[in-house]
Chains A and B, each alone.
Chain A
Amino acid sequence: MTEQDIPSAYLRDKRTPPPSREELRARIPGWGADLDPADRPSSPKLQYPADSGAHWDFPDRQPGSAGREHSIEHAFVTPVFGTAQPLHGLSGAIRRLAYARFSEGRLAHWVLLVLGDRVDAWGSHLRSFGTLHPDDPITETGVRAELTAGGTARRGRSDRRHQVLDPVLVAGPWVAAGAGMVLGARRVARALRG
């Protein structure tokens, strides 16, 4: 390697200067419009006082906060909060434990919330079979889009590798549950016979 071949990383300056402003402006619409950091809305990071439109020092408190779960890193239930899907049943008890006992810094907090999610999902699936609108893995996974030739999927799948495990993840629990029921039924039948 001659001295002329030594890469920039080993020298004071980059060997290849960037294209000129004129060249970049000719090629790229708006090049350099925000070159000055003063034109960048999030520079500097902290901008006090921000003109937010708020006309209160502390917001009115939304009614109904009693019993609402909250992170123990909060001093109280925030003055405004979502009211969608309140805690219920076993999944609710697991989630309430996660919030009441563990800070966000503890892995147990998040593991319990994930466990609550899975209990919620399985409980909801089972309950749905007692309704007029049971869960339907065909319509609810949207998998029909795979078959709508001439429709949305006409150009096919562009991300084959990424999706290899998805059918296993989606169908796996259903197959496992079915296999478990068959095995259980056989065991019961065997016990009754014997």
Chain B
Amino acid sequence: MRAMTYRGPYKLRVEEKDRPRIEHPNDAIVRVQLAAICGSDLHLYHGLMPDTRIGHTFGHEFIGVVDEIGPSVQHLQVGDRVMVPFNVFCGSCWYCARGLYSNCHNVNPNATAVGGIYGYSHTTGGYDGGQAEYVRVPFADVGPVRIPEWMHDEDAVLLTDAAATGYFGAQLGEIVEGDTVVVLGAGPVGLIAAQSSWLMGAGRVIVIDHLQERLDKARTTAHAEVWDYDEIDDVVLEMKRQTDFLGADVVIDAVGAEADGNLLMHVTGTKLKLQGGSPVALNWAIDGVRKGGTISVVGAYGPVPNMVKFGDAMNKGLTLRMNQTPVKRQWPRMFEHVRNGHLTPREVVTHRFPLEDIAEAYHVFSAKLDGCIKPLIVPSAS
């Protein structure tokens, strides 16, 4: 089969690989119809994630058709069209039993601090991902769901991570009616987080970024106030000024490891890999939220320590909430929001590339060429 393969930082190509096989009785093999590149894939692409091995196939956002099932699979059949949460999870460990699917303890031998994720290095379990023609899906009775007839394929693929993560990020903010919510980052996750903040009763939503096409999207699709931080001398001070010197009630970090906005942090965190990513957004969140406020972190960071202003967080009495998204838990309610038009995840899609052009796709997304916000990947076998 054809599959994207990692060749080192900033380098990848499409190669012939063996089609995955059933390795566990509850496995399924899914023929990928549509995949996406996530902003967090760029962390792998840029060499930020430890134990990213040469030959690894990325991709944790994908939908497809069940091509083969293991002998213990009961809930799926060959031919079913499925959407697959980015989490690999067993459904039965201590964490899964409590709904913390993203923290599953039975699927990632390489680390206890993170669960299993498709195509996201060996630090998350060593599973090849979905930017390929076929992918192995463990625990087929637990993760995948048949795509509803009414759902658009591009909504479905966005729901496997980016949209679910934005919605989850707003929930982590514990928003109450009338809150002022600041969303850092106007990528796909930030845009959905801004939309979701309104669903939860925000009275004011501000999105901060420095890429004009993303700010335009935040204004038009998320009905948010937008701030270009390149035009603001001091983002934290502006957050205070604009909130009557209180600070925001809730700040959502939808940026993570590759944050710009502070040269020292960006270079040491993102370029030189001396930190687990650049903590600019997180530090803006800590300093820009009001005392007693809540910070929601859904941007991804690496496992190496970061220069985070934890003293300020403590002294301000902040609540910091964060996790990888337990995607499947979000779906029943999100399906309602998508069906009734409150959320339309596919609005963030800007580019579609054939799998064979995936090196260009990564470069366009990474370098922010052509106003790219969300690129999709279409395998030739689909």
Contacts and interface: CB of A to CB of B under 8 A. Distances in A.
Contacts of A154: 370
B171 A42 contact: yes
A22 B97 CA distance: 40
A169 B366 CA distance: 14
Contacts of B23: 62-64, 83
A78 B105 contact: yes
Contacts of A189: none
Contacts of B127: 82, 84
B245 A80 contact: no
Interface string B50-62: 1111111100000
Contacts of B333: 34, 39-41
A4 interface: no
Contacts of A39: 333
A104 B112 contact: yes
A68 B107 CA distance: 13
A144 B112 contact: no
Interface stretch (B154-162, B231-239, B308-316, B324-332): B324-332
A27 to B, nearest CB: 7
Nearest to A76: B109
A84 B56 contact: yes
Interface in B252-310: 260, 266-267, 271, 273, 290, 303-305
B223 A78 contact: no
A109 to B, nearest CB: 8
Interface residues of A, number: 106
Interface string A78-115: 11111111000001000100010000100100100110
B244 A152 contact: no
A142 B267 CA distance: 23
Given A10-B245, A158-B212, A121 B271 contact: no
Given A35-B177, A41-B330, A78-B107, A169 B337 contact: no
A157 B367 contact: yes
B40 interface: no
A194 interface: no
Contacts of B174: 37
A49 B123 CA distance: 28
B250 to A, nearest CB: 13
A3 interface: no
Contacts of A110: 50, 303-304
B106 interface: yes
A46 interface: yes
Interface string B1-30: 000000111111101000000011110000
Interface string A30-71: 111111010111110111111011111111101111001111
Contacts of B26: 59-60
B130 interface: no
A54 B99 contact: no
Given A48-B97, A144-B360, A162-B368, A59 B50 contact: no
A15 to B, nearest CB: 6
B43 to A, nearest CB: 13
B124 to A, nearest CB: 8
A74 interface: yes
B319 interface: no
Given A7-B244, A54-B142, A153 B201 contact: no
Interface string B62-78: 00000000001011000
B139 to A, nearest CB: 7
Contact of A152 (B213, B334, B360): B360
B152 interface: no
A135 B11 contact: yes
Nearest to B98: A46
B263 to A, nearest CB: 9
A111 B25 CA distance: 36
Given A18-B178, A31-B201, A153 B106 contact: no
B326 A165 contact: no
Contact of A55 (B141, B171, B331, B340): B141
A28 B168 CA distance: 19
Contacts of A85: 53-56, 122, 126
Interface string B356-367: 001111111011
A124 B245 CA distance: 55
B245 A69 contact: no
Contacts of B10: 141, 166, 169-170
Contact of A117 (B50, B97, B362, B369): B50
B138 interface: yes
A2 to B, nearest CB: 15
15 contacts: A7-B245, A30-B340, A32-B198, A33-B199, A52-B92, A54-B142, A69-B110, A84-B122, A121-B54, A128-B7, A137-B11, A145-B367, A157-B369, A159-B211, A169-B9
Q: What 3 A-B pairs come out closest when comparing CB atoms?
A: A18-B203, A82-B126, A30-B342
Given A30-B199, A59-B139, A142-B12, 4 more contacts: A7-B245, A54-B142, A69-B110, A155-B371
